[in-house]
Structures are given as C-alpha cells and as structure tokens.
Amino acid sequence: MVLLLRKILNTWRPSWRQVTSFCFAIPHRRPHIFRGVVTNGDAAPEGHPNKISSLMGDPEEKSMPPNLETFISGEYLPDNIDVYVTSFSHKICDPHLDSGLWEQFIEQHPVRFVRQYPPRIPTDKGTFETIVMACSDA
Amino acid sequence: MVSTDRPTTGQLDLRYSKFLGNGNHSFVILAPLTLPSVVSAPSTHGAVAVKLAGRQGSEREMLLNEAKIYNAFPRELQEGSPQAPPIVPKFYGYYVPSLEAFDSYADDDKFRKKERECIRTMLECITPILLLESCGEEIRAMALSSTDR
C-alpha cells in the first residue's frame, strides 16, 4: 500500500488549476499581502506584489534610475534611511491596524530605519563608529 | 574604523518600486536609493534590490542571518578584480525601523497619545530591510549548456 502511494505521488503532476489552489492550502507560506489570492502572471489581482508598482505610485511619473553598482564600504553607508511609502505599504506589517491613521502619519513623515549591519558602535563622545572587516580593506 | 560626528541619512523611495520576485519567506522589490554626500564622495543615486521578510519571527531571523552573512563577505567577493568577476551582490546594509526617531518627533504632531501608541505598534511590526545590488535576471541553470554551468 505504501509503495503504491509513493508511486502515485512520484508520477502525479498537478494541473495549473491545482497548483494555484495551493495558495489557499498553505497561506502561511506566502507573504500575507496576497494571501488567499490566485496568482497567475500578468493577470495578477489587486494586492499581489506584481501590482505593487501601480499601488505604490505611477511608474510613468518617475522612471527607475540605473542600478547602483558602486561598491560602498561600510563606513560610508548611511546611518539612517528615510523610507517613503504609500498607504499600501502598511500592509507589509498588518492589515488589521488602522490604515487611516497610518496614512495620516506617512503623509507627514517618512519611516526612518536605522542601520544594524554593518554595525554602528556608539563612542564615549556621543558619535558612532562603523567596524569594517579587516579583509575588506585589502 | 571610522568615526562620524553626526549620523548620515539616505532616502529609499518605495513609492516608485518594482516587484522583482518572492520566495516562501520574503519578497524583493527594486527601488531608488539616494545615498548622502560624504567628504570623499558626492551624493549617489541608483536602484537597489530591497529584500523584505514576512511577518513571522522566524522569517525575520532568516533575513537577519542573511544580513550577517553578507556583512561578513570580504570586499573582493563583492567587487571582483581584474582577474575575476564579482561573486556575490554588493551589500548596502541591513536596516530596522527606528522607534527612537518616531519618539523624537511624535511630540510635535497633532496625533493624540492613543494614536501615537497605535502608530508605534505599526512601526514595531514593519519588516527590516536588506539592501543589495540588483544583479538582473535570475540565472536558470537548466537553460545553460554544461560548459556555461
């Protein structure tokens, strides 16, 4: 019986419709912003990451710059990064929170992130030092 | 070791981002990053890959672990040399939401105390971000000849 079951599992190939239904079967395995949504290439529904660019802003309004390819040593990376987001972005954390309040907040402020790696070490003078690995200075 | 008098601040604009891909525990978008000018270099602007973790603690642990690994890579692996191309994407840092920054300007806002607490809760659950060089299309080994592999 076990051998028969193993043979069936080894030879079974799911159809497209069966594959998309997996999104519902294992929702915790996918980012929750498209939990419960059938994903299918260009036909991605609202809320799917393929739609993120249109939800975050009109790509036509501001073109994407060329990729950053310069090596930047850790001590020259910014200590903080101000992240500009839209109301959609709060869904990255929790859709049950008050989105109206979040929208009000991000209209007034970017979300500030602080660098954790490469690590910043506070000094006695109230400044910070960045430790760069010795081998990266070679 | 380099000492700085005051913290420097860059800008990452997720309002104009592009979806790059997702895995079981994270997803990646492309977004413009502006690095501040420093004494030795002017301000730099370019698109970087932004990796975001899922909501679960284990997923964030994975992203943190990845950041530690990238941080440990020597410069040669990221930059390459005349003899050898780069081996890994360039690492532009791992950043976590700053509650201290929020607390510092929250008093100036029109939000009531209860609302501030709610916003703070939202900030606490935002995923950290891992910034990397975007290296273009994924290599599909099956499409390569045995020599190219």
ipTM of the complex: 0.87
Please state the rounded mean pLDDT for residues A55-74.
Answer: 72
Exposure class string for B18-42: b at 16+ Cβ within 10 A, else e: bbbebeebbbbbbbbbbbbebeeee
Tell me whether residue A3 is in a domain: no
Q: In chain A, how many domains are there? A: 2
Rounded Cα–Cα distance for residues B3 and A129 (Å)? 4
Q: Do A67 and B134 touch (CB under 8 A)?
A: yes
List, in sequence order, every beta strand (DSSP E) within B23-143. Answer: 26-35, 44-53, 91-97, 129-132
Transcribe A98-116 into DSSP letters.
Answer: -HHHHHHHHHH-PEEEEEE
Please write the tens of the pLDDT for every residue from B5-30: 678 899 999 888 888 988 889 989 99
Asked if A77 and A135 sit in the same domain, the reply is: yes
Tell me whether residue A7 is in a domain: no
Q: Is the pLDDT of residue B35 over 70?
A: yes
Q: Which of B62, B126, B127, B133 to mutate to test the interface with A (most CBs of A within 10 A)?
A: B126
Q: The sheet that has A128-130: what strands, in order across it?
A: A120-122, A128-130, B2-4
Q: In the numeric block, which tokens belong to residue B89?
A: 């994407």
Please write the tens of the pLDDT for every residue from B53-105: 988 889 999 999 999 999 999 888 998 888 888 899 999 999 999 888 777 76
| Average model confidence (pLDDT) across chain A | 59
Q: What is the pLDDT of residue A30?
A: 33
Tell me whether residue A6 is in a domain: no
Tell me whether residue A63 is in a domain: no
Q: Is the pLDDT of residue B139 over 50?
A: yes
How many of the other CB atoms lie within 10 Å of CB of A82?
18
What Cα–Cα distance (Å) separates residue A69 from each residue in A25, A64, A121, B27, B87? 40, 14, 27, 21, 13
pLDDT band for A39, please (50, 70, 90 cuts): very low
Nearest to B49 by CA among B23, B29, B35: B29
Exposure class string for B77-111: b at 16+ Cβ within 10 A, else e: bbbeeeeeebebbbbbbbbbbbeebbeeebeeeeb
Nearest to B126 by CA among B73, B63, B79: B63
Tell me whether residue A66 is in a domain: no
Shortest CA distance from B16: residue in chain A: A57
Domain that holds residue A50: 14-54
pLDDT band for A62, please (50, 70, 90 cuts): low
Q: What residues of chain A, 117 to 136, have a C-beta less than 8 Å from chain B?
A: 117-119, 123, 125, 127-133, 135-136
Q: Do B12 and A69 touch (CB under 8 A)?
A: no
Asked if A80 and A111 sit in the same domain, the reply is: yes
How many of the other CB atoms lie within 10 Å of CB of B144?
10
Asked if A105 and A131 sit in the same domain, the reply is: yes
Q: Which of B13, B102, B122 sits opposite A97 (nearest CB)?
A: B122
pTM: 0.70
Tell me whether residue A1 is in a domain: no
Q: Which domains does chain B have, with CATH numbers?
A: 11-97+128-137 (3.30.200.20)
Q: Is the peptide bond before A59 cis (omega within 30 degrees of 0)?
A: no
Please state the rounded mean pLDDT for residues A51-63.
Answer: 47
Q: In the numeric block, which tokens belong to residue A53?
A: 């660019």
Tell me whether residue A60 is in a domain: no
Rounded Cα–Cα distance for residues B113 and B110 (Å)? 9
Answer whether A55's CB lies under 8 Å from B18's CB.
Answer: no
Asked if A90 and A138 sit in the same domain, the reply is: yes
Asked if A76 and A49 sit in the same domain, the reply is: no
Asked if A76 and A136 sit in the same domain, the reply is: yes
Asked if A79 and A114 sit in the same domain, the reply is: yes
Q: At what angle do helices B113-124 and A99-108 cross, to 10 degrees?
A: 90
| B114 vs A22, more confident | B114
Q: Do B47 and A67 touch (CB under 8 A)?
A: yes
Please write the tens of the pLDDT for every residue from A95-106: 566 667 777 888
